[in-house]
Amino acid sequence: MPETNSAYLVEIHQLLTRYYNQEELRSLCFQLGICYDDLPATGRAGKARELVTYLDRRKRLPELKEIVSAQRPHAPWPSYAAKPKENPPAPPLAERWQLNKADFTRLANILQAEPRFATPQQRLDLLNEAFSDSPRREDIKGGINVDGAPRSVAIRLINHLVQFGQDIKDRETLGLLILTLLAGLGDNPDAHFLRGLLSRYPLGVQVKTPPEPDKRFLKQDPLDVQVKTLPEPGKRFLKQEDRKWLVQTIGNLARFQDLPGRRNLLIDAQIPDAWIGEISLERGGTSEIARTVVNDLERRGSLPQNPQTHALGGLLEALSDSLGVEQSRRAVALLFRYRLNSDHERLNEFSQLYGVPLPLFAEEIDRPQLAIPGSLPAAWQRDVTGQLEALYANGKKNWVDIDFLVAGARAAQSVCRLEWQGQGVGTGFLVAPDLILTNYHVIMPQNYTGALETRLRTCQIRFGATAVPGGGVSAGVKVSKLHQDSVVAFSEIDNLDFALLRLKEPVEDKIRISRAVLSKEAIYLEQYANIIQHPLGGAMKVTLRSNQIVKLLPHRIYYLSDTQQGSSGAPVFDDDWQVIALHRAAGLQDATGKVVLEANEGVPILDIVREIEQFLGGN
């Protein structure tokens, strides 16, 4: 079928309008060297149509395909290759299975890292091995370009095999590739993931279960933590604000504006056809239909073909493929918060892909622990080594990307120490070129009886006071005084306990001192709370990990992060190093002063921003 076939061009046009908004389409044109504004049409759909026509006339559709496949790996590129008569036609693309974004990305990572995928010749050898017994091996290989960077080739190959479909009845060519990769992996997390793909998708191939290790070398840990069960069928569990966000997000999806798009979304969510038929997808406005879908799936329970996933969890997974970065992260956060998936490996994949911290219940991985004897049979050594390398500190993954440390160092440039008579008393952080935020009780302690203005005149602010080799604290990078009218806004101790103070002069230089970024996202349980602080008025310190949020109350959050006196007023950061709270105290107390929750206390930054946003200049 030639590229000028109108049905093929229409499908490309539909793909662009479904998966690209106007700004993304403009960026796509820029990458192709085409001026978006010069395309002779108006509106996003018209521009997309003219772009496809323009590229087709100039034989550049393969170039568009490569860019779109890299940017939207989960979006099925239309197939224009005619099927041989002896093979039945593949089902329409809208009804065929597709790898979701998380699975596609991890599979591409595994393929890219495969030693047999390093050079074009090795890639051909790998394909020859994968399709050696296929009656259509030449057809399969004929559409694959193995030249280029491993990552690009991996993405092209996976897309090609998904689109190619079956080589014989009920056997997918992608399944053959996965079997070949499994043969060289032994028993490690990547192998577990690939086996999971074979069970989650209709690939038509089976892998033999690896033999169990000799039980003489294994012992079961009696403290293994089982994942909590999924929400029970028939129950509603979403909080009002989460339900409202989910309904609004679904209703705003471009693909949810017509009946085929709604059905396709539910198919992507692995919702059975029988269930889809019971949901009213045509009655009412878009928002009402979105609410109907959410309410129905919330009560359904686990998916019949995937019992480890709740029906609403399947929808959230499908949504994460269709949304922008921040909205995708929120969808995954809801998946974690309501325990809508009990597959440890799956949860790890979503955490890594979207940068959402794992919930506590998902971090305990149920795996046998090795009791290593003095020597092992030679056949065992490879598998044992793989298991040892995959240990996550007794089942917990405690590593972070190296960029996490770089971003943390940048965030530390906002943190300062408040001093009186040369002694550090509290912590604060820069939120505008000449504004810092701290606790009200830092500038006005309960035992202080003098005038606030008098106390502030003797205060100095020190940025960059870090530890030096051999002990002691550096002089910092900048010392500033407060403005004579320093108090811009405040809330007393019993309320939000904050003070916004103006410095004598702006200090932000974006090299040594930078303002903190304030989060606009809602806080959730088990989120990490990283605190950069000046405990005991000394050098700057940071708390990382073992610091999750454990309780949420109106205007207060509680977390396990270590702090001490002098840490009051410190910024509480999420894993993107955006401020989510202002640290203020230790422990939740009852009316008698008894500590009833051994966790530190902060004030959500969103509550404070509502009071001070007029002074922040867009932070």
pLDDT, tens digit (0-9, with 9 covering 90-100), for 402-411: 788 888 999 9
**pTM check: above 0.85:** no
Domain count across the chain: 4
Q: In this structure, is residue 375 part of a structural domain?
A: no
| pLDDT tens-digit map of 232-275 | 888 888 888 888 889 999 998 888 898 888 988 898 888 998 89
If asked whether residues 600 and 455 sit together in one domain, one would say: yes
Q: How confident is the model at residue 214 (pLDDT cuts 50, 70, 90)?
A: very low
Based on the fold, state whether residues 36 and 105 are members of the same structural domain: no
- Output 377 or 292, whichever has higher pLDDT: 292
Closest Cα partner for 436 from 460, 406, 466? 460
Residue 218 within a domain = no
Enclosing domain of residue 593: 401-619
Q: Domain for residue 503, yes or no?
A: yes
pLDDT, one tens digit per residue, over 498-543 is 999 999 999 998 888 999 999 988 888 888 899 999 988 899 999 8
Give the highest mean pLDDT range of 84-93, 231-240, 436-445: 436-445
Q: Is residue 432 part of a domain?
A: yes
Establish if 127 belongs to a structural domain: yes
| Residue 445, token pair as written in the block | 């302690």
- The pLDDT, as a whole number, for residue 208 is 53
Let me know whether 409 and 547 are in one domain. yes
Backbone φ/ψ region at 12: left (φ over 0), alpha (ψ -120 to 50), beta: alpha
The answer for residues whose C-beta is within 8 angstroms of residue 341's C-beta and 6 or more apart is 230, 308, 309, 310, 313, 317, 335, 347, 350
The whole-chain average pLDDT of the chain stands at 80
At 194 the pLDDT is: 87
Q: Which residues pair with 533 in a beta bridge?
A: 541
Instruction: Specify if 419 maps to a domain.
Output: yes
Are the beta carbons of 117 and 126 closer than 8 angstroms? yes
- The SS3 of residue 431 is strand
Best CA proximity match to 606, nearest among 582, 575, 570 = 582
Q: Please, how many CA atoms are within 13 Å of residue 555, restricted to the half-sphere of its CB?
A: 10
**Is 15 a residue whose pLDDT tops 50?**
yes
Instruction: Please compute Rg for the chain using Cα positions.
Output: 28
Q: Are 192 and 276 found together in one domain?
A: no
Q: Are residues 124 and 247 in the same domain?
A: no
Q: Tell me, yes or no, whether 468 and 615 share the same domain.
A: yes
Identity at 243, one-letter amino acid code = R
* Residue 227: φ, ψ to 5°: -65, 140
Q: Are residues 166 and 50 part of one domain? A: no
Q: What is the pLDDT of residues 119-129, one digit of tens each?
A: 888 898 889 88
Per DSSP, the three-state class of 238 is coil
User: Which two three-digit tokens encode residue 452?
Assistant: 């606030």
65 and 149 assigned to the same domain: no
Structure token pair of residue 369: 């622990």
235 falls within a domain = no
Q: How many CA atoms lie within 13 A of 472 on its CB side?
A: 6
Residue 423 sits in the same domain as residue 474? yes
Same structural domain for residues 100 and 67? no
Asked if residue 82 has pLDDT above 60, the reply is: no
Q: Does 212 reside within a domain?
A: no
Q: Report the pLDDT value the prediction gives residue 389, as an integer from 0 to 100.
A: 41
Q: Are residues 512 and 474 in the same domain?
A: yes
Same domain, 535 and 441: yes
